[in-house]
Amino acid sequence: MLIAEATRSVPELFRSGLVIPAHPLALTADRKLDERRQRALTRYYVEAGAGGLAVGVHTTQFAIHGTELLPPVLELAAATAREYPREVVLIAGATGPTAQAVAEAELAASLGYHMVLLSPHRDLDEDGLIERARAVGEVLPVIGFYLQPAVGGRTLSRGFWTRLAAIESVVGIKVAPFDRYRTLDVLHGVCRSGREGEVALYTGNDDHILADLITPHRVVVDGREVEVEFVGGLLGQWAVWVRRAVELLEEARRARGGDDSAVRRLLRLDGHLTDANAAIFDSANGFHGCIPGIHEVLRRQGLLEGRWCLDPAEDLSPGQPAEIDRVWEAYPWLRDDDFVAEGLDRWLS
């Protein structure tokens, strides 16, 4: 790592654009926290080159919120990341009504987290969500989250994103509606707020990752043309094959910088990655098997012992294992099996 990169502050690192895996939850067969493998996952992500970790988010399973499991999961990731000499941006997921979200942000702050990814809450209208973001922002900087409705999100207006981006404590937005129209709502909202230089956009559109990362968006708002871009990804898809994700983000930077060969290569790979994501995330069945799908990939690589979730009924959908088999064989260039095999014993030690 370059010295200049190593000495950047957390806000500078975040704005520069990072690979941020949405950290899964490693469980034993009796659905208890598997600390050894949870730690191994964190070590894998850091050594693969991820610039940040998002813990307590959808991929970690929202069911841990409001339970005794949340504090040790957050603490274990933070402590393991600190085994390394470089700065890793630590992002904690916060959920629930305002009082719960603020309490979870306070817990994260006490453990050394830098930011909060604030999930939408269905029982609040847009005014309530804005006030909730302001309250959480008094504890830690906030990353807004456009979560797709299929996994608990909701539709939010373009005006909402303008108001959210205008809050000084909002430092980024994870854009994950899996919908191009709603993605544009976020881009327009951020530009209308006038804070497009301060609010970092991270793609969470697992169905459109590489296209998001190479596209310079020219947005016209109030008669002015503004260029914005996705600087990085905060993704469940990037909980797997992370070494390749780091390489792809570097190539996306070259593409945005004018490297036409990088643009062409990434456009070819975009369909491959989307096809792989469809199998892993179980798009054919409304994303029912998305978390077990991530676990299955990590199990095949030896990082997890099984694909167990907190809910015993949450498992791969019928036909999903065969789909994962198909993409596994079809796209070996997306996988980082050699890198994982080389480091696995060390990470599990």
pLDDT of residue 196: 94
H-type alpha helices, the chain: 3-6, 10-16, 35-48, 70-81, 98-110, 126-137, 158-165, 180-193, 209-214, 242-256, 260-281, 290-300, 320-330, 337-348
In the predicted model, what is the mean pLDDT of residues 66-81?
A: 97
Which of 114-118, 145-149, 300-304, 331-335 shows the lowest per-residue confidence on average (mean pLDDT)?
145-149
Instruction: Check whether 1 has a pLDDT greater than 60.
Output: no
Write out pLDDT tens, residues 329-349: 999 999 999 999 999 999 999
Report d(CA 315, CA 194) in Å as an integer.
Answer: 44
Write out pLDDT tens, residues 45-64: 999 999 999 999 999 999 99
Write out pLDDT tens, residues 100-143: 999 999 999 999 999 999 999 989 999 999 999 999 999 999 99
pLDDT interval class at 5 (50, 70, 90): low
pLDDT of residue 43: 98
Nearest to 33 by CA among 3, 66, 70, 87: 70
- Identify residue 249 by its one-letter amino acid code: L
Cα–Cα separations (whole angstroms), residue 111 to 83, 104, 115: 15, 11, 11
- The percentage of residues in the chain with a pLDDT greater than 90, rounded to a whole number, is 92
| Residue with more model confidence, 172 or 1 | 172
Instruction: Check whether 2 has a pLDDT greater than 50.
Output: no
Instruction: Check whether 6 has a pLDDT greater than 70.
Output: no
Report the chain's mean pLDDT, rounded to a whole number.
95
- Listing DSSP states for 265-286 in one string gives HHHHHHHHHHHHHHHHHTGGGT
pLDDT of residue 269: 96
Instruction: Check whether 4 has a pLDDT greater than 60.
Output: no
Instruction: Check whether 322 has a pLDDT greater than 70.
Output: yes
Write out pLDDT tens, residues 246-284: 999 999 999 999 999 999 999 999 999 999 999 999 999
Report d(CA 333, CA 244) in Å as an integer.
Answer: 8
φ, ψ dihedrals at 20, nearest 5°: -125, 100
Report d(CA 210, CA 187) in Å as an integer.
Answer: 17
DSSP character for 208? S
In the predicted model, what is the mean pLDDT of residues 14-38?
A: 97
Write out pLDDT tens, residues 163-175: 999 999 999 999 9
Complete domains list, the chain, with CATH: 3-241 (3.20.20.70)
Q: Are 304 and 37 in contact (CB under 8 A)?
A: yes
Which of 213-217, 277-281, 302-306, 333-337 shows the lowest per-residue confidence on average (mean pLDDT)?
213-217
- The percentage of residues in the chain with a pLDDT greater than 70, rounded to a whole number, is 98
Global pTM reads 0.95
